[in-house]
Structure 1
Amino acid sequence: MPTELSPIDKAKFVAAKKAVEYVEDGMRVGLGTGSTAAWMVRCLGEMVREEGLRIRGVPTSTRTAELARDVGIEVVSLDQAKWLDITIDGADEFDAELNLIKGGGGALLQEKIVATASDQMIVITDASKEVDTLGAFPLPVEVIPFGWQTTQALIEETLAAMDVMGRSASLRMNGERPFVTDEGNHILDLHLKRIGNPRQMAMILNQMPGVVENGLFIDICDTVVIGYGDGKTQVRDINAGTIEENMLEFVESENLFSDLSD
Protein backbone atom coordinates (compact mmCIF):
# COMPACT_ATOMS: atom_id res chain seq x y z
CA MET A 1 0.00 0.00 0.00
CA PRO A 2 1.40 3.44 -0.86
CA THR A 3 2.10 5.59 2.18
CA GLU A 4 0.88 8.75 0.43
CA LEU A 5 -1.56 9.42 -2.38
CA SER A 6 -0.74 11.67 -5.30
CA PRO A 7 -2.45 15.09 -5.44
CA ILE A 8 -4.77 13.89 -8.20
CA ASP A 9 -5.83 10.84 -6.18
CA LYS A 10 -6.36 13.04 -3.12
CA ALA A 11 -8.57 15.28 -5.25
CA LYS A 12 -10.60 12.29 -6.42
CA PHE A 13 -10.88 10.97 -2.87
CA VAL A 14 -12.12 14.21 -1.29
CA ALA A 15 -14.66 14.68 -4.11
CA ALA A 16 -15.94 11.16 -3.50
CA LYS A 17 -15.96 11.64 0.27
CA LYS A 18 -18.02 14.83 -0.06
CA ALA A 19 -20.46 13.28 -2.55
CA VAL A 20 -21.34 10.29 -0.35
CA GLU A 21 -22.67 12.75 2.24
CA TYR A 22 -25.74 12.93 -0.01
CA VAL A 23 -26.44 9.22 0.46
CA GLU A 24 -28.96 8.35 3.17
CA ASP A 25 -29.99 5.10 4.80
CA GLY A 26 -32.33 3.03 2.64
CA MET A 27 -31.45 4.73 -0.64
CA ARG A 28 -31.12 3.06 -4.03
CA VAL A 29 -27.82 4.34 -5.40
CA GLY A 30 -26.42 4.28 -8.92
CA LEU A 31 -22.73 3.43 -8.78
CA GLY A 32 -20.61 4.93 -11.55
CA THR A 33 -17.60 3.53 -13.36
CA GLY A 34 -14.03 4.80 -13.52
CA SER A 35 -11.16 5.75 -11.25
CA THR A 36 -12.99 8.57 -9.43
CA ALA A 37 -16.19 6.54 -9.05
CA ALA A 38 -14.12 3.72 -7.56
CA TRP A 39 -13.18 6.03 -4.68
CA MET A 40 -16.88 6.70 -4.14
CA VAL A 41 -17.67 2.98 -4.03
CA ARG A 42 -14.91 2.44 -1.47
CA CYS A 43 -16.22 5.33 0.65
CA LEU A 44 -19.74 3.90 0.58
CA GLY A 45 -18.39 0.47 1.46
CA GLU A 46 -16.64 1.94 4.49
CA MET A 47 -19.93 3.55 5.58
CA VAL A 48 -21.73 0.23 5.16
CA ARG A 49 -19.17 -1.66 7.22
CA GLU A 50 -18.42 0.89 9.93
CA GLU A 51 -21.61 2.96 10.21
CA GLY A 52 -24.25 0.37 9.32
CA LEU A 53 -25.43 2.27 6.26
CA ARG A 54 -28.08 0.25 4.40
CA ILE A 55 -28.24 0.91 0.68
CA ARG A 56 -28.82 -1.00 -2.52
CA GLY A 57 -26.33 -0.23 -5.26
CA VAL A 58 -26.98 -0.43 -9.00
CA PRO A 59 -23.59 -0.64 -10.74
CA THR A 60 -22.95 0.69 -14.23
CA SER A 61 -20.41 -1.95 -15.22
CA THR A 62 -19.23 -5.41 -14.30
CA ARG A 63 -16.05 -4.07 -12.71
CA THR A 64 -18.02 -1.64 -10.53
CA ALA A 65 -20.31 -4.51 -9.50
CA GLU A 66 -17.29 -6.58 -8.47
CA LEU A 67 -15.80 -3.72 -6.44
CA ALA A 68 -19.13 -2.96 -4.76
CA ARG A 69 -19.57 -6.57 -3.67
CA ASP A 70 -15.96 -6.68 -2.46
CA VAL A 71 -16.52 -3.69 -0.14
CA GLY A 72 -19.83 -5.00 1.22
CA ILE A 73 -22.45 -3.08 -0.75
CA GLU A 74 -25.65 -4.95 -1.66
CA VAL A 75 -25.79 -5.05 -5.46
CA VAL A 76 -29.09 -5.21 -7.35
CA SER A 77 -30.06 -4.71 -10.96
CA LEU A 78 -31.85 -1.61 -12.24
CA ASP A 79 -34.88 -3.77 -12.98
CA GLN A 80 -34.93 -4.83 -9.33
CA ALA A 81 -34.49 -1.28 -8.05
CA LYS A 82 -36.89 0.15 -10.68
CA TRP A 83 -35.91 3.76 -9.85
CA LEU A 84 -32.96 5.32 -8.05
CA ASP A 85 -32.71 8.04 -5.45
CA ILE A 86 -29.27 9.16 -6.56
CA THR A 87 -26.45 8.29 -8.95
CA ILE A 88 -22.85 9.27 -8.29
CA ASP A 89 -20.41 9.02 -11.18
CA GLY A 90 -17.33 10.63 -12.67
CA ALA A 91 -16.92 12.52 -15.94
CA ASP A 92 -14.25 13.00 -18.57
CA GLU A 93 -15.28 16.62 -19.18
CA PHE A 94 -17.88 19.05 -17.89
CA ASP A 95 -18.83 22.61 -18.81
CA ALA A 96 -20.44 25.54 -16.99
CA GLU A 97 -23.94 24.15 -17.65
CA LEU A 98 -22.88 20.76 -16.21
CA ASN A 99 -23.13 19.06 -19.58
CA LEU A 100 -20.72 16.14 -19.69
CA ILE A 101 -18.62 13.90 -21.85
CA LYS A 102 -18.51 10.39 -20.39
CA GLY A 103 -17.47 6.99 -21.62
CA GLY A 104 -13.70 7.02 -21.27
CA GLY A 105 -14.06 3.79 -19.32
CA GLY A 106 -16.36 2.28 -21.92
CA ALA A 107 -19.53 2.11 -19.77
CA LEU A 108 -21.41 5.08 -21.23
CA LEU A 109 -24.58 3.17 -22.16
CA GLN A 110 -25.24 1.73 -18.72
CA GLU A 111 -24.08 4.98 -17.12
CA LYS A 112 -26.62 7.03 -19.08
CA ILE A 113 -29.47 4.58 -18.45
CA VAL A 114 -28.77 4.56 -14.71
CA ALA A 115 -28.28 8.34 -14.48
CA THR A 116 -31.55 9.11 -16.25
CA ALA A 117 -33.39 6.65 -13.98
CA SER A 118 -32.36 8.66 -10.91
CA ASP A 119 -33.92 11.54 -9.00
CA GLN A 120 -30.50 13.17 -8.83
CA MET A 121 -27.14 12.76 -10.55
CA ILE A 122 -23.97 13.92 -8.82
CA VAL A 123 -20.70 14.04 -10.72
CA ILE A 124 -17.42 13.75 -8.83
CA THR A 125 -14.31 15.05 -10.52
CA ASP A 126 -11.14 17.08 -10.24
CA ALA A 127 -10.61 20.59 -11.58
CA SER A 128 -8.74 19.41 -14.68
CA LYS A 129 -12.01 18.07 -16.17
CA GLU A 130 -13.66 21.50 -16.39
CA VAL A 131 -13.68 23.05 -19.88
CA ASP A 132 -15.18 26.12 -21.51
CA THR A 133 -16.40 24.04 -24.45
CA LEU A 134 -16.77 20.28 -24.61
CA GLY A 135 -14.76 18.27 -27.12
CA ALA A 136 -11.10 18.21 -26.18
CA PHE A 137 -11.69 14.73 -24.75
CA PRO A 138 -12.59 12.30 -27.56
CA LEU A 139 -16.35 11.74 -27.65
CA PRO A 140 -17.19 8.02 -27.23
CA VAL A 141 -19.95 6.59 -29.41
CA GLU A 142 -21.10 3.02 -28.78
CA VAL A 143 -21.89 1.17 -32.02
CA ILE A 144 -22.96 -2.37 -32.84
CA PRO A 145 -20.17 -4.51 -34.34
CA PHE A 146 -22.15 -5.29 -37.51
CA GLY A 147 -21.12 -2.77 -40.16
CA TRP A 148 -19.16 -0.60 -37.74
CA GLN A 149 -16.93 0.69 -40.53
CA THR A 150 -20.00 1.85 -42.44
CA THR A 151 -21.27 3.53 -39.27
CA GLN A 152 -17.89 5.22 -38.84
CA ALA A 153 -17.95 6.50 -42.43
CA LEU A 154 -21.49 7.83 -41.94
CA ILE A 155 -20.49 9.62 -38.75
CA GLU A 156 -17.42 11.20 -40.34
CA GLU A 157 -19.48 12.33 -43.33
CA THR A 158 -22.08 13.89 -41.03
CA LEU A 159 -19.40 15.67 -38.99
CA ALA A 160 -18.46 17.70 -42.06
CA ALA A 161 -21.64 19.74 -41.58
CA MET A 162 -21.33 20.08 -37.78
CA ASP A 163 -19.82 22.84 -35.66
CA VAL A 164 -16.66 20.96 -34.68
CA MET A 165 -12.93 21.44 -35.21
CA GLY A 166 -12.01 17.78 -35.84
CA ARG A 167 -13.88 15.21 -37.92
CA SER A 168 -12.06 11.89 -37.48
CA ALA A 169 -13.22 8.77 -35.66
CA SER A 170 -11.16 5.82 -34.47
CA LEU A 171 -12.13 2.38 -33.25
CA ARG A 172 -11.20 1.91 -29.60
CA MET A 173 -8.84 -1.00 -29.17
CA ASN A 174 -7.99 -3.32 -26.29
CA GLY A 175 -4.51 -4.42 -27.22
CA GLU A 176 -4.69 -5.87 -30.71
CA ARG A 177 -8.45 -6.43 -30.61
CA PRO A 178 -11.39 -4.03 -30.63
CA PHE A 179 -12.60 -2.96 -27.20
CA VAL A 180 -15.89 -4.68 -26.34
CA THR A 181 -18.43 -3.11 -23.98
CA ASP A 182 -20.48 -5.02 -21.41
CA GLU A 183 -23.25 -5.16 -24.03
CA GLY A 184 -20.93 -6.67 -26.65
CA ASN A 185 -20.58 -3.50 -28.72
CA HIS A 186 -17.65 -1.44 -30.02
CA ILE A 187 -16.75 2.18 -29.31
CA LEU A 188 -15.79 4.81 -31.84
CA ASP A 189 -13.91 7.75 -30.34
CA LEU A 190 -14.65 11.00 -32.18
CA HIS A 191 -11.74 13.44 -32.20
CA LEU A 192 -13.69 16.69 -32.42
CA LYS A 193 -11.50 19.08 -30.37
CA ARG A 194 -14.49 21.39 -29.87
CA ILE A 195 -18.24 20.71 -29.96
CA GLY A 196 -20.08 23.92 -30.77
CA ASN A 197 -23.58 22.51 -30.20
CA PRO A 198 -23.52 19.46 -27.90
CA ARG A 199 -27.31 19.10 -27.80
CA GLN A 200 -27.55 18.95 -31.60
CA MET A 201 -24.59 16.58 -31.78
CA ALA A 202 -26.18 14.14 -29.32
CA MET A 203 -29.49 14.11 -31.21
CA ILE A 204 -27.94 13.61 -34.64
CA LEU A 205 -25.60 10.82 -33.52
CA ASN A 206 -28.41 8.83 -31.92
CA GLN A 207 -30.47 8.99 -35.13
CA MET A 208 -27.82 7.09 -37.10
CA PRO A 209 -28.33 3.38 -37.81
CA GLY A 210 -25.70 1.37 -35.95
CA VAL A 211 -25.26 3.91 -33.16
CA VAL A 212 -26.40 2.62 -29.78
CA GLU A 213 -25.61 5.67 -27.61
CA ASN A 214 -23.20 8.60 -27.37
CA GLY A 215 -21.19 9.97 -24.47
CA LEU A 216 -22.80 13.41 -24.30
CA PHE A 217 -24.81 13.76 -21.10
CA ILE A 218 -27.03 16.81 -21.64
CA ASP A 219 -29.32 18.13 -18.88
CA ILE A 220 -28.70 15.01 -16.76
CA CYS A 221 -26.22 16.17 -14.12
CA ASP A 222 -27.67 18.14 -11.18
CA THR A 223 -24.57 18.68 -9.06
CA VAL A 224 -20.82 18.51 -9.58
CA VAL A 225 -18.38 18.01 -6.72
CA ILE A 226 -14.86 19.14 -7.60
CA GLY A 227 -11.99 17.89 -5.48
CA TYR A 228 -8.56 19.46 -5.02
CA GLY A 229 -5.26 17.99 -3.89
CA ASP A 230 -5.19 20.12 -0.73
CA GLY A 231 -8.49 18.69 0.52
CA LYS A 232 -10.76 21.47 -0.70
CA THR A 233 -14.04 20.64 -2.38
CA GLN A 234 -16.37 22.83 -4.41
CA VAL A 235 -20.00 21.84 -4.87
CA ARG A 236 -21.95 23.40 -7.74
CA ASP A 237 -25.71 22.86 -7.82
CA ILE A 238 -27.10 23.73 -11.27
CA ASN A 239 -30.71 23.77 -10.05
CA ALA A 240 -30.20 25.94 -6.98
CA GLY A 241 -27.54 28.05 -8.68
CA THR A 242 -25.26 27.74 -5.65
CA ILE A 243 -21.53 27.19 -5.16
CA GLU A 244 -20.29 25.85 -1.82
CA GLU A 245 -16.69 25.32 -0.77
CA ASN A 246 -15.45 23.12 2.06
CA MET A 247 -12.18 21.74 3.37
CA LEU A 248 -12.13 18.04 4.19
CA GLU A 249 -9.65 16.58 6.61
CA PHE A 250 -7.63 13.93 4.81
CA VAL A 251 -7.15 10.84 6.95
CA GLU A 252 -5.69 7.76 5.31
CA SER A 253 -7.59 4.54 5.96
CA GLU A 254 -5.95 1.15 5.68
CA ASN A 255 -9.22 -0.41 4.50
CA LEU A 256 -10.14 2.33 2.03
CA PHE A 257 -6.76 2.55 0.31
CA SER A 258 -5.78 -1.10 0.34
CA ASP A 259 -6.80 -1.62 -3.32
CA LEU A 260 -5.78 1.07 -5.76
CA SER A 261 -5.98 -1.02 -8.92
CA ASP A 262 -9.08 0.67 -10.48
Structure 2
Amino acid sequence: MTDALSPSDIAKRASALRAAEFVEPGMRVGLGTGSTAAFLVQRLGERLRSEGLRIRGVPTSARTADLAQAEGIEVTTLEEVGWLDITIDGADEVDGRLDLIKGGGGALLREKIVATASERVVIIADAGKRVGTLGAFPLPVEVIPFGLGATRRLVEDLLAGADVGARQVELRLRDGRPFVTDEGNHILDLRLERIGNARQLSLGLNQIPGVVENGLFLGIADTLVVGRPDGGAEVVDMSQADGVPFAGTDNIFTEVVD
Protein backbone atom coordinates (compact mmCIF):
# COMPACT_ATOMS: atom_id res chain seq x y z
CA MET A 1 0.00 0.00 0.00
CA THR A 2 2.82 2.41 0.83
CA ASP A 3 4.56 1.77 -2.52
CA ALA A 4 2.17 4.13 -4.31
CA LEU A 5 2.46 6.87 -1.68
CA SER A 6 4.78 9.86 -1.76
CA PRO A 7 7.33 10.19 1.08
CA SER A 8 5.10 12.87 2.63
CA ASP A 9 2.05 10.61 2.50
CA ILE A 10 4.03 7.71 3.95
CA ALA A 11 4.94 9.97 6.87
CA LYS A 12 1.34 11.11 7.30
CA ARG A 13 0.12 7.54 7.25
CA ALA A 14 2.79 6.48 9.76
CA SER A 15 1.66 9.17 12.20
CA ALA A 16 -1.97 8.11 11.78
CA LEU A 17 -1.19 4.42 12.32
CA ARG A 18 0.72 5.21 15.53
CA ALA A 19 -2.01 7.49 16.84
CA ALA A 20 -4.68 4.89 16.12
CA GLU A 21 -3.06 2.77 18.83
CA PHE A 22 -4.31 5.26 21.42
CA VAL A 23 -7.92 4.39 20.59
CA GLU A 24 -9.46 1.74 22.84
CA PRO A 25 -12.77 -0.15 22.61
CA GLY A 26 -15.80 1.85 23.67
CA MET A 27 -14.12 5.23 23.31
CA ARG A 28 -15.86 8.35 22.08
CA VAL A 29 -13.45 9.64 19.44
CA GLY A 30 -13.24 13.01 17.71
CA LEU A 31 -12.28 12.41 14.08
CA GLY A 32 -10.32 15.18 12.39
CA THR A 33 -10.43 16.49 8.84
CA GLY A 34 -7.77 16.42 6.13
CA SER A 35 -5.47 14.00 4.36
CA THR A 36 -3.64 12.84 7.50
CA ALA A 37 -6.88 12.35 9.42
CA ALA A 38 -8.22 10.32 6.51
CA PHE A 39 -5.43 7.78 7.05
CA LEU A 40 -6.51 7.59 10.71
CA VAL A 41 -10.15 6.90 9.86
CA GLN A 42 -9.11 4.20 7.40
CA ARG A 43 -6.92 2.55 10.05
CA LEU A 44 -9.75 2.61 12.58
CA GLY A 45 -11.93 0.97 9.97
CA GLU A 46 -9.29 -1.74 9.53
CA ARG A 47 -9.22 -2.31 13.28
CA LEU A 48 -13.00 -2.54 13.32
CA ARG A 49 -12.91 -5.32 10.75
CA SER A 50 -9.87 -7.20 12.09
CA GLU A 51 -10.26 -6.73 15.85
CA GLY A 52 -13.95 -5.95 16.26
CA LEU A 53 -13.04 -2.49 17.59
CA ARG A 54 -16.20 -0.59 18.45
CA ILE A 55 -16.07 3.14 18.99
CA ARG A 56 -18.35 6.12 18.51
CA GLY A 57 -16.88 8.75 16.23
CA VAL A 58 -17.68 12.45 16.15
CA PRO A 59 -16.53 13.78 12.76
CA THR A 60 -15.36 17.37 12.35
CA SER A 61 -16.65 17.67 8.78
CA ALA A 62 -19.10 16.15 6.33
CA ARG A 63 -16.16 14.67 4.42
CA THR A 64 -14.90 12.85 7.49
CA ALA A 65 -18.42 11.67 8.36
CA ASP A 66 -18.80 10.14 4.90
CA LEU A 67 -15.44 8.37 5.16
CA ALA A 68 -16.14 7.06 8.68
CA GLN A 69 -19.51 5.67 7.62
CA ALA A 70 -17.92 4.01 4.60
CA GLU A 71 -15.44 2.33 6.98
CA GLY A 72 -18.28 1.04 9.16
CA ILE A 73 -17.53 3.34 12.11
CA GLU A 74 -20.52 4.40 14.18
CA VAL A 75 -20.96 8.13 13.62
CA THR A 76 -22.61 10.25 16.28
CA THR A 77 -22.71 13.89 17.37
CA LEU A 78 -21.13 15.84 20.19
CA GLU A 79 -24.60 16.58 21.51
CA GLU A 80 -25.32 12.87 21.81
CA VAL A 81 -22.09 11.82 23.54
CA GLY A 82 -21.58 15.00 25.59
CA TRP A 83 -17.81 14.64 25.98
CA LEU A 84 -15.01 12.83 24.16
CA ASP A 85 -12.29 10.52 25.39
CA ILE A 86 -9.87 11.50 22.63
CA THR A 87 -9.67 13.60 19.47
CA ILE A 88 -7.12 12.85 16.78
CA ASP A 89 -6.58 15.45 14.07
CA GLY A 90 -3.97 16.88 11.75
CA ALA A 91 -2.42 20.34 11.70
CA ASP A 92 -1.09 22.80 9.13
CA GLU A 93 1.64 24.01 11.50
CA VAL A 94 2.79 23.04 14.98
CA ASP A 95 5.39 24.88 17.03
CA GLY A 96 7.55 23.93 20.01
CA ARG A 97 4.74 24.50 22.51
CA LEU A 98 2.34 22.31 20.53
CA ASP A 99 0.43 25.41 19.49
CA LEU A 100 -1.12 24.97 16.07
CA ILE A 101 -2.48 26.57 12.96
CA LYS A 102 -5.40 24.56 11.61
CA GLY A 103 -8.16 25.14 9.10
CA GLY A 104 -6.51 24.58 5.76
CA GLY A 105 -9.33 22.17 4.99
CA GLY A 106 -11.98 24.66 6.06
CA ALA A 107 -13.24 22.79 9.15
CA LEU A 108 -11.56 24.87 11.86
CA LEU A 109 -14.73 25.77 13.77
CA ARG A 110 -15.93 22.20 14.24
CA GLU A 111 -12.36 21.04 14.82
CA LYS A 112 -11.84 23.51 17.67
CA ILE A 113 -15.20 22.72 19.28
CA VAL A 114 -14.52 18.98 19.17
CA ALA A 115 -10.92 19.33 20.37
CA THR A 116 -11.84 21.45 23.38
CA ALA A 117 -14.54 18.93 24.35
CA SER A 118 -11.97 16.12 24.63
CA GLU A 119 -10.00 14.59 27.49
CA ARG A 120 -7.00 14.21 25.21
CA VAL A 121 -6.04 15.81 21.90
CA VAL A 122 -3.53 14.02 19.68
CA ILE A 123 -2.12 15.81 16.64
CA ILE A 124 -0.82 13.75 13.73
CA ALA A 125 1.55 15.24 11.16
CA ASP A 126 4.60 14.78 9.01
CA ALA A 127 7.84 16.55 9.93
CA GLY A 128 7.18 19.35 7.44
CA LYS A 129 4.47 20.72 9.72
CA ARG A 130 6.90 21.42 12.57
CA VAL A 131 8.03 25.05 12.78
CA GLY A 132 9.92 27.31 15.12
CA THR A 133 7.36 30.14 14.81
CA LEU A 134 3.79 29.97 13.58
CA GLY A 135 2.69 32.02 10.60
CA ALA A 136 4.22 30.72 7.37
CA PHE A 137 0.98 28.86 6.68
CA PRO A 138 -1.95 31.26 6.05
CA LEU A 139 -4.06 31.68 9.18
CA PRO A 140 -7.73 30.86 8.45
CA VAL A 141 -10.42 33.01 10.03
CA GLU A 142 -14.03 31.88 9.72
CA VAL A 143 -16.48 34.76 9.22
CA ILE A 144 -20.21 35.01 8.62
CA PRO A 145 -21.30 36.14 5.14
CA PHE A 146 -23.30 39.13 6.41
CA GLY A 147 -21.15 42.26 6.50
CA LEU A 148 -18.16 40.41 5.07
CA GLY A 149 -16.54 43.57 3.69
CA ALA A 150 -16.80 45.36 7.03
CA THR A 151 -15.44 42.36 8.90
CA ARG A 152 -12.51 42.12 6.52
CA ARG A 153 -11.69 45.80 7.05
CA LEU A 154 -11.74 45.34 10.82
CA VAL A 155 -9.40 42.37 10.49
CA GLU A 156 -7.04 44.46 8.36
CA ASP A 157 -7.16 47.27 10.95
CA LEU A 158 -6.26 44.80 13.70
CA LEU A 159 -3.33 43.45 11.70
CA ALA A 160 -1.98 46.97 11.18
CA GLY A 161 -1.00 47.03 14.84
CA ALA A 162 -0.13 43.36 15.26
CA ASP A 163 3.32 41.82 15.61
CA VAL A 164 3.29 39.91 12.32
CA GLY A 165 5.59 39.66 9.33
CA ALA A 166 3.02 40.49 6.64
CA ARG A 167 -0.59 41.68 6.51
CA GLN A 168 -2.28 40.22 3.45
CA VAL A 169 -5.95 39.22 3.79
CA GLU A 170 -7.59 37.04 1.13
CA LEU A 171 -11.10 35.66 0.83
CA ARG A 172 -10.83 31.91 0.23
CA LEU A 173 -12.36 30.89 -3.09
CA ARG A 174 -13.37 27.58 -4.61
CA ASP A 175 -14.15 27.36 -8.31
CA GLY A 176 -14.16 31.15 -8.47
CA ARG A 177 -16.76 31.57 -5.72
CA PRO A 178 -16.37 32.18 -1.97
CA PHE A 179 -15.59 28.96 -0.13
CA VAL A 180 -18.48 27.90 2.13
CA THR A 181 -17.81 25.96 5.35
CA ASP A 182 -20.06 23.20 6.70
CA GLU A 183 -21.62 25.89 8.90
CA GLY A 184 -22.42 28.13 5.93
CA ASN A 185 -19.67 30.66 6.61
CA HIS A 186 -16.72 32.03 4.62
CA ILE A 187 -12.99 32.01 5.38
CA LEU A 188 -10.46 34.82 5.29
CA ASP A 189 -6.90 33.55 4.90
CA LEU A 190 -4.37 35.82 6.61
CA ARG A 191 -0.91 35.62 5.02
CA LEU A 192 1.23 36.80 7.92
CA GLU A 193 4.58 35.02 7.38
CA ARG A 194 5.32 35.26 11.11
CA ILE A 195 3.11 35.60 14.19
CA GLY A 196 4.90 37.29 17.07
CA ASN A 197 2.19 36.97 19.73
CA ALA A 198 -0.29 34.27 18.82
CA ARG A 199 -2.41 34.60 21.96
CA GLN A 200 -2.87 38.33 21.56
CA LEU A 201 -3.76 37.93 17.90
CA SER A 202 -6.26 35.15 18.61
CA LEU A 203 -8.04 37.19 21.28
CA GLY A 204 -8.14 40.26 19.06
CA LEU A 205 -9.56 38.40 16.07
CA ASN A 206 -12.31 36.76 18.10
CA GLN A 207 -13.46 40.13 19.45
CA ILE A 208 -14.28 41.38 15.95
CA PRO A 209 -18.02 41.25 15.14
CA GLY A 210 -18.52 38.86 12.25
CA VAL A 211 -15.58 36.63 13.16
CA VAL A 212 -16.77 33.21 14.27
CA GLU A 213 -13.42 31.61 15.09
CA ASN A 214 -9.77 31.60 14.03
CA GLY A 215 -7.36 28.80 13.23
CA LEU A 216 -4.95 29.33 16.12
CA PHE A 217 -5.24 26.29 18.40
CA LEU A 218 -3.35 27.39 21.50
CA GLY A 219 -2.84 25.24 24.58
CA ILE A 220 -5.20 22.58 23.20
CA ALA A 221 -2.95 19.76 21.98
CA ASP A 222 -1.62 17.21 24.47
CA THR A 223 0.36 14.91 22.19
CA LEU A 224 2.04 15.19 18.81
CA VAL A 225 2.75 12.15 16.65
CA VAL A 226 5.22 12.90 13.85
CA GLY A 227 5.51 10.39 11.02
CA ARG A 228 8.66 9.77 9.01
CA PRO A 229 9.10 8.79 5.35
CA ASP A 230 10.63 5.48 6.48
CA GLY A 231 7.30 4.53 8.06
CA GLY A 232 8.34 5.18 11.66
CA ALA A 233 6.79 7.72 14.03
CA GLU A 234 7.88 9.84 16.99
CA VAL A 235 5.56 10.65 19.89
CA VAL A 236 6.01 13.98 21.68
CA ASP A 237 3.94 14.41 24.82
CA MET A 238 3.71 17.66 26.77
CA SER A 239 3.90 15.70 30.04
CA GLN A 240 7.35 14.35 29.16
CA ALA A 241 10.09 16.99 29.44
CA ASP A 242 12.50 15.22 27.14
CA GLY A 243 13.74 18.30 25.30
CA VAL A 244 12.73 17.25 21.79
CA PRO A 245 13.95 19.99 19.41
CA PHE A 246 11.79 21.48 16.69
CA ALA A 247 12.80 23.28 13.52
CA GLY A 248 14.26 26.72 14.14
CA THR A 249 15.64 27.95 17.43
CA ASP A 250 12.65 27.14 19.68
CA ASN A 251 12.56 24.11 21.90
CA ILE A 252 9.34 22.45 22.99
CA PHE A 253 10.25 22.68 26.69
CA THR A 254 12.08 26.02 26.78
CA GLU A 255 9.64 27.55 29.26
CA VAL A 256 9.76 24.49 31.50
CA VAL A 257 13.56 24.58 31.67
CA ASP A 258 13.60 28.29 32.36
TM-score range, shorter chain: over 0.9
Determine if the alignment matches structure 1 residue 90 to structure 2 residue 93.
Answer: no
Per-residue deviation, residues 64-94 of structure 1 (Å, max 9, x unmatched) = 0000000010000010110000000000000
Q: Do the aligned partners of 2:2 and 2:10 also contact (CA within 8 Å) in 1?
A: no
After superposition, residues 167-246 of structure 1 pair within 5 angstroms as: 167-242=167-242
Q: Distance in 2 between matches of 1:142 and 1:2?
A: 35
Cα shift readout 1:172-194 (whole Å, capped 9, x = no counterpart):
00111100000000000001000
Query: 2:112 corresponds to which residue?
Result: 112
> CA distance change for structure 1 residues 243 and 32 in 2, over 3 Å: closer, same or farther?
farther
Contact 1:34 1:105 in 2 (8 A): yes
Structure-2 residue corresponding to 1:73: 73
CA deviation vs aligned residue, 1:188-212 (integer Å, no higher than 9, x gap): 0001000001111111100100000
Structure 1 window deviating more from structure 2 (60-69 vs 157-166): it is 157-166
TM-score (norm 2): 0.92
**Structure 1 contact 237–243 (Cα < 8 Å) conserved:** no
Aligned residues: 244
The letter of the residue matching 1:20 is: A
What residue is the counterpart of 1:4 in the other structure?
4
- 1:2: Cα distance to partner? 8.4
Aligned equivalents of 2:103 and 2:119: distance in 1? 21
Contact kept? 2:28, 2:55, Cα under 8 Å: yes
Q: Separation in 2 of the partners of 1:64 and 1:243?
A: 34
How far residue 3 of structure 1 moved from its aligned partner, in angstroms, is: 4.9
**How much has 1:231 moved relative to structure 2?**
1.4
Structure 1 counterpart of 2:255: none
Inter-partner Cα distance in structure 2 for 1:144 and 1:6: 37
Matched residue, 2:146: 146
Which amino acid is 1:159 matched to? L
Deviation at 1:4, TM superposition (A): 2.3
The alignment status of 1:42 with 2:42, answered yes or no, reads yes
Deviating 4+ runs (over 2 angstroms):
1-4, 239-244
Could you tell me whether the CA contact under 8 Å between 1:88 and 1:122 is conserved in 2?
yes
Q: Using the alignment, how far apart are the partners of 1:3 and 1:129 within structure 2?
A: 23
Letter in 1 for 2:72: G
Q: Show structure 2 runs of 5+ residues with no match.
A: 245-258
1:58 is aligned with what amino acid?
Answer: V
Q: Which secondary structure state, in structure 2, belongs to the residue aligned with residue 111 of structure 1?
A: helix
Distance 1:86 1:183 in 2: 23
Deviation at 1:50, TM superposition (A): 1.1
Letter in 1 for 2:100: L
Q: Could you tell me how far 1:5 is from its partner in structure 2? A: 1.5
CA contact (8 A) 1:236 1:243 kept: no
Query: 1:101 aligns to what?
Result: 101
Superposition deviation, residue 143 in structure 1: 0.1
Q: Distance in 2 between matches of 1:128 and 1:37?
A: 16
CA distance in 2 between partners of 1:84 and 1:241 (Å)? 26
Distance 2:103 2:7 in 1: 24
What is the alpha-carbon distance in structure 1 between the residues aligned to residue 230 and residue 168 of structure 2? 38
Contact kept, 8 Å, 1:235 with 1:243, in 2: the verdict is no
Q: Which runs of 5+ in 1 are unaligned?
A: 245-262
SS in 2 for 1:57: strand
* Seq. identity, %: 63
| C-alpha displacement of 1:241 | 2.6
